[in-house]
């Protein structure tokens, strides 16, 4: 057959099929690339935000005897090369060449301090180029001295500036360290880090800051600092009598991370730890790998799994709906070809020729469209996944296969004769049983998913992916089987009236089930997935807002390490854009007279509540007494040590204090209980613009200024969060468009039969206006019932999936459970579909009015 001639004759359906195929292939190939690119960016951000001491791979070993000591840099270098040689292949792209090595002692007390001050010794392979000496000089070679009848080493060390002030040390001092195996430490210089924000210092924070540790049951803090010694000092640093640990740091290159490699990376880290341990022959202490990378990857994988689940659901629904619309367009083309293929079959054409002609003409439309969509998908940044290649192939095969099979079945006998009976055949008992089984299994699956939660195994839980599909199929079956029954009630009511239009229109709508199956199978999942996406997106947005308020606790929060002067508070009050300032004092208080401690905030709760306004967080009123956490409940009157001894009755129990405390022991007290409040926190209501926040930070340099708006932006700025929400929006819009196209195509597909029926009735006296009403009554009921079913399924899916979709990773780590029933978007979609159906009906009758009744009645009449 002449395919090009058929394409020119049926150019309209061919063009529609081309455009639909192009859009479907662009979506199915482009969206996965965009989402995967966002997953990769999210992993890189997660690794960058994680302290290097947790993200990097660190090989460590303890030296417990002189035989295990390393005194030369070459010994460290040889082991560094060994660790890089035995790295598993999955880790090699992530490990950069810029690492460093260290030797440090721990828990080295300063003699005579009773275990209150510790001065550890540390050597860094690149320490000299990481610091600037601000006082004294760099440490040199060690010496010896006699102490208590023994010769002990004297280490020259440098110490960070902060330790001079915090621990009462000074350049030129010599301190004895140890309790049994003594050593002398001479402080010859003080240094400052060249770049304190460098990730390098995450591994060596003990050389940059004084650590304060409160031992269990103790009231005083221990102070720890590590001093920097030279390469010469390494030659006499020994693990005999000291807690000495050697480390080789292999930094992770966050920019090379790939989300697809995460499962393999976790296994590779475990394998690296195993292989490193095998190198411990001849040592009393085994080599081991210190890293938090598996936990970081595990947390990311949990968040990624949820994102992928949501993406699979919505993208799978989008693909199904797109295929349904394409199939509907193929059906339109097949109907246009029916007359020509019937003649060809009657004149001796084989079934293979008929099916081949249909497949060739369909392929002529869909193959260029698929290639164009596939090519355009490469404009979307992101890695090329298998679905990018497979998706367009599935679309083409589905379209061509449907065209060939449908026309082969329709023309399996020459001069086939079709009956257009309005009465539908009763379904068989087997079919009814199968449909009931599908509905029951879907409901049982939804119940089991809520009852058991997700599978603990790695990867996607197939149960979670099957249940939504089963629920959609069940809803479609129920809609197809049940929608005629309420219509028949309306038919009975209409039969009692004198007007025939309502009776005829509703009767045709109630009986035309076989012709309406495909539109239902398209409209119902389209509406269900789009409503589900809209509900999920709204739930995430609401929980993100709640999380931002819980993180900050006020429109603007200012927290200082020291007391904020009264003059500075007044300047803050007079700052343009500031409407109200609530002072507060935070601190750690003594509960009772023992070692029990709790976090506390003293504030005027009434003023705090006034600046919160309509925020989704709040506190109960507190005229006096204290609000306590659940761990402090049942104490009655609390005795607190905070500036002075306080006795406060318990006035309520709160689970959290917005912006401050969420776990542990904490309490809220009125600011008036303090004799002289030492205000270190300001809760501010006003303009949260960057200019205002910058001015507030300038007025109180010791304070950290945060705003609820910035916290919300930070939550939304996460790549995974942005990807989930943007994909939901794109899918919602695409599905709405496909739903509208399905309505239009269903109108066009049934246009010939509808025109024939209307023409028969017009010969009996049916007016043009009555014909319009008749067409609307025939089309609108199925669309409305399907829209309502899709609306109900979309609103019910979040609750049905239950714990299977944990979206807390995208909402500030708060569980997303408040799926409010905002019916604006679903109602708009339903109204849009109904409007398109009505307009299509009117347009159809307007076009039919121009045709001759005789011409219409002869269309398709072969006998």
Structure confidence by residue, pLDDT tens digits, 711-728: 998 888 777 777 777 777
Quick one: which H or E segment has residue 270? helix 262-277
pLDDT, residue 159, reads 94
Which pairing describes strands 222-228 and 117-124: parallel, antiparallel, or unpaired? Answer: parallel
Q: Report d(CA 290, CA 273) in Å as an integer.
A: 9
Cβ–Cβ under 8 Å, residues 777 and 502:
yes
Handedness of CA 46, 47, 49, 54 (dihedral sign): positive
Beta bridge partners, 646, equal 640
Residue 758 half-sphere exposure toward CB, CA atoms < 13 A? 30
Structure-token pair, residue 144:
């010896």
Cβ–Cβ under 8 Å, residues 287 and 280:
yes
Counting other chains too, the contacts that 833-836 makes at CB distance below 8 Å and 24 or more residues apart are: 833/523, 833/527, 833/739, 833/740, 833/743, 833/783, 833/787, 834/780, 834/783, 834/784, 834/787, 836/740, 836/743, 836/744
Beta bridge partners, 59, equal 248, 289
**Whole-structure pTM value:** 0.74
> Shortest CA distance to 60 belongs to which of 282, 294, 279?
279
Cβ–Cβ under 8 Å, residues 284 and 64:
yes
pLDDT, residue 820, reads 63
Which pairing describes strands 597-603 and 578-591: parallel, antiparallel, or unpaired? Answer: antiparallel
Cβ–Cβ under 8 Å, residues 654 and 668:
yes
**Exposed, middle or buried by CB within 10 Å (0-12, 13-18, 19+), for 415?**
exposed
Q: What phi and psi, each to the nearest 5 degrees, are found at residue 65? A: -155, 160
Quick one: which H or E segment has residue 642? strand 637-642
> Shortest CA distance to 167 belongs to which of 211, 124, 207?
211
DSSP 672-708: GGSSS----EEEEEE---HHHHHHHHHH-TTEEEEEH
Q: DSSP label at 621? A: -
pLDDT, residue 848, reads 59
Quick one: which H or E segment has residue 534? helix 517-552
pLDDT, residue 429, reads 80
- Ranges of beta strands (E only) in 171-305 are 174-177, 183-193, 211-213, 222-228, 243-250, 288-290
Give the number of other CB atoms < 10 A from CB of residue 30: 22
> Shortest CA distance to 133 belongs to which of 110, 151, 156?
156
Q: Report d(CA 612, CA 764) in Å as an integer.
A: 71
Question: Helix 517-552 to helix 293-346 angle, to the nearest 10 degrees?
Answer: 160
Cβ–Cβ under 8 Å, residues 226 and 121:
yes
Beta bridge partners, 666, equal 599
> Shortest CA distance to 301 belongs to which of 182, 457, 108?
457
Structure-token pair, residue 448:
């089991």
> Shortest CA distance to 162 belongs to which of 190, 138, 131?
190
Q: What phi and psi, each to the nearest 5 degrees, are found at residue 410? A: -70, -30
Cβ–Cβ under 8 Å, residues 234 and 71:
yes
pLDDT, residue 133, reads 92
**Exposed, middle or buried by CB within 10 Å (0-12, 13-18, 19+), for 169?**
buried
Structure-token pair, residue 528:
């269900």
Q: Report d(CA 577, CA 689) in Å as an integer.
A: 9
Taking only Cα atoms into account, the Rg of the chain, rounded to an integer number of angstroms, comes to: 37
Q: Report d(CA 423, CA 507) in Å as an integer.
A: 10
Q: Report d(CA 370, CA 398) in Å as an integer.
A: 12
Q: Which residues contact 244 (CB under 8 A, 6 or more apart)?
A: 62, 63, 69, 103, 104, 105, 237, 238
Cβ–Cβ under 8 Å, residues 239 and 123:
no
**Exposed, middle or buried by CB within 10 Å (0-12, 13-18, 19+), for 456?**
exposed
Give the number of other CB atoms < 10 A from CB of residue 419: 5
Cβ–Cβ under 8 Å, residues 228 and 137:
no
Helix spans in 377-428 (H):
386-410
Rounded to the nearest 5 percent, the helix, strand and coil shares of the chain are 55, 15, 25
Structure-token pair, residue 383:
């890695």
At 2 the three-state DSSP class reads coil
pLDDT, residue 458, reads 45
Q: Which residues of the chain have pLDDT under 70?
A: 1, 216-219, 282-283, 348, 413-427, 450, 452-465, 510-518, 520, 750-755, 762, 764, 768, 802-806, 809-810, 813, 817-823, 825-826, 829-830, 833-834, 837, 840-863
Would you say how long the chain is, in residues?
Answer: 863
Structure-token pair, residue 363:
């392929």
Q: Report d(CA 660, CA 598) in Å as an integer.
A: 13
Structure-token pair, residue 672:
């008036």
Q: Report d(CA 659, CA 216) in Å as an integer.
A: 28
Question: Helix 351-376 to helix 11-49 angle, to the nearest 10 degrees?
Answer: 40
At 593 the three-state DSSP class reads coil
pLDDT, residue 158, reads 94
At 356 the three-state DSSP class reads helix
Q: Which residues contact 671 (CB under 8 A, 6 or more apart)?
A: 583, 584, 585, 602, 603, 604, 677
Structure-token pair, residue 108:
């080295």
Helix spans in 58-195 (H):
73-85, 161-166
Write down the residue that tokens 């009462």 correspond to.
168
């Amino acid at each position: 057959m002449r395919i090009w001639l058929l394409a020119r004759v049926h150019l309209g359906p061919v063009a529609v099929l081309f455009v639909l195929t192009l859009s479907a292939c662009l979506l199915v190939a482009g969206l996965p690339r965009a989402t995967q690119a966002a997953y990769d960016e999210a992993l890189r951000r997660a690794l960058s935000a994680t302290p290097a001491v947790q993200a990097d791979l660190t090989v460590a070993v303890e030296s417990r005897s002189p035989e295990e000591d390393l005194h030369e840099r070459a010994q460290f270098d040889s082991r560094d090369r060994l660790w890089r040689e035995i790295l598993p292949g999955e880790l090699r792209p992530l490990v950069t060449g810029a690492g460093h090595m260290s030797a440090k002692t721990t828990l080295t007390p300063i003699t005579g301090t009773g275990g209150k001050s510790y001065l550890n010794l540390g050597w860094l392979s690149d320490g000299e180029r990481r610091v600037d000496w601000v006082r004294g000089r760099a440490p040199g070679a060690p010496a010896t001295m006699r102490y208590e009848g023994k010769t002990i080493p004297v280490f020259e060390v440098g110490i960070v500036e902060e330790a001079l002030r915090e621990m009462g040390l000074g350049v030129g001092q010599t301190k004895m360290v140890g309790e049994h195996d003594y050593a002398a430490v001479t402080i010859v210089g003080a240094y400052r880090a060249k770049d304190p924000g460098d990730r390098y210092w995450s591994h060596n924070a003990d050389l940059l800051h004084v650590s304060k540790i409160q031992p269990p049951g103790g009231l005083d803090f221990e102070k720890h600092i590590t001093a920097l010694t030279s390469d010469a000092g390494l030659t006499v640093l020994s693990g005999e009598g000291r807690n000495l640990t050697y480390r080789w740091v292999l930094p992770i290159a966050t920019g090379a991370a790939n989300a697809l490699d995460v499962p393999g990376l976790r296994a590779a880290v475990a394998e690296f730890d195993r292989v490193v341990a095998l190198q411990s022959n001849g040592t009393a202490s085994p080599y081991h790998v210190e890293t938090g990378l598996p936990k970081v990857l595990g947390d990311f994988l949990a968040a990624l799994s949820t994102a992928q689940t949501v993406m699979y659901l919505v993208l799978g629904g989008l693909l199904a709906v797109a295929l349904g619309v394409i199939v509907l367009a193929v059906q339109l083309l097949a109907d246009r070809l029916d007359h020509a293929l019937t003649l060809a079959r009657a004149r001796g054409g084989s079934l293979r020729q008929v099916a081949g002609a249909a497949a060739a003409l369909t392929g002529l439309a869909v193959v260029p469209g698929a290639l164009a969509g596939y090519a355009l998908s490469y404009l979307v940044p992101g890695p090329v996944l298998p679905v990018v290649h497979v998706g367009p192939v599935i679309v083409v095969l589905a379209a061509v296969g449907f065209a060939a099979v449908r026309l082969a079945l329709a023309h399996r006998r020459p001069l086939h004769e079709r009956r257009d009976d309005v009465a539908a055949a009763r379904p068989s008992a087997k079919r009814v049983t199968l449909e009931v089984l599908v509905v029951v299994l879907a409901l049982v699956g939804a119940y089991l998913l809520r009852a058991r939660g997700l599978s603990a195994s790695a990867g996607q839980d197939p149960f979670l992916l099957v249940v939504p599909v089963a629920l959609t199929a069940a809803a479609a079956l129920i809609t197809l089987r049940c929608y005629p029954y309420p219509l028949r009630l309306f038919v009975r009511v209409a039969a009692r009236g004198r007007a025939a239009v309502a009776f005829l229109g509703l009767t045709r709508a109630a009986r035309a089930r076989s012709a309406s199956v495909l539109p239902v199978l398209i409209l119902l999942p389209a509406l269900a997935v789009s409503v589900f996406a809209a509900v999920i997106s709204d739930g995430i947005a609401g929980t993100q807002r709640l999380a931002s308020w819980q993180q900050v606790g006020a429109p603007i929060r200012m927290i200082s390490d020291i007391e904020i002067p009264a003059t500075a508070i007044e300047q803050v009050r007079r700052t343009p854009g500031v409407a109200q300032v609530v002072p507060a004092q935070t601190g750690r208080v003594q509960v009772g007279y023992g070692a029990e401690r709790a976090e506390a905030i003293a504030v005027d709760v009434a003023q705090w509540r006034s600046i919160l306004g309509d925020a989704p967080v709040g506190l109960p009123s507190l005229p006096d007494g204290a609000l306590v956490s659940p761990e402090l409940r049942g104490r009655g009157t609390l005795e607190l040590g905070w500036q002075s001894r306080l006795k406060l009755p318990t006035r309520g129990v709160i689970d959290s204090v917005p912006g401050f405390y969420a776990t542990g022991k904490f309490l809220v007290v009125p600011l008036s209980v303090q004799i002289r409040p030492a205000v270190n926190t300001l809760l501010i209501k006003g303009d949260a613009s960057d200019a205002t926040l910058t001015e507030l930070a300038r007025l109180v340099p010791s304070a950290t200024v945060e705003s609820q708006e910035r916290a919300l932006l930070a939550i939304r700025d996460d790549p995974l969060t942005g990807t989930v929400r943007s994909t939901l929006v794109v899918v919602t819009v695409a599905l709405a468009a496909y739903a509208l196209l399905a309505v239009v195509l269903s109108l066009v597909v049934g246009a010939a039969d509808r025109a024939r029926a209307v023409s028969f009735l017009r010969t009996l006296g049916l007016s043009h206006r009555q014909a319009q009403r008749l067409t609307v009554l025939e089309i609108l009921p199925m669309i409305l019932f399907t829209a309502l079913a899709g609306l109900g399924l979309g609103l019910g899916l979040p609750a049905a999936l239950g714990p299977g979709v944990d979206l807390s990773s995208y909402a500030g780590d708060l569980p997303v459970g408040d799926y409010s029933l905002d019916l604006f978007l679903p109602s708009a979609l339903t109204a849009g579909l109904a409007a398109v159906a009505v307009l299509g009906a009117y347009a159809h009758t307007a076009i039919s009015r121009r045709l001759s009744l005789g011409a219409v009645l002869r269309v398709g009449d072969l006998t």
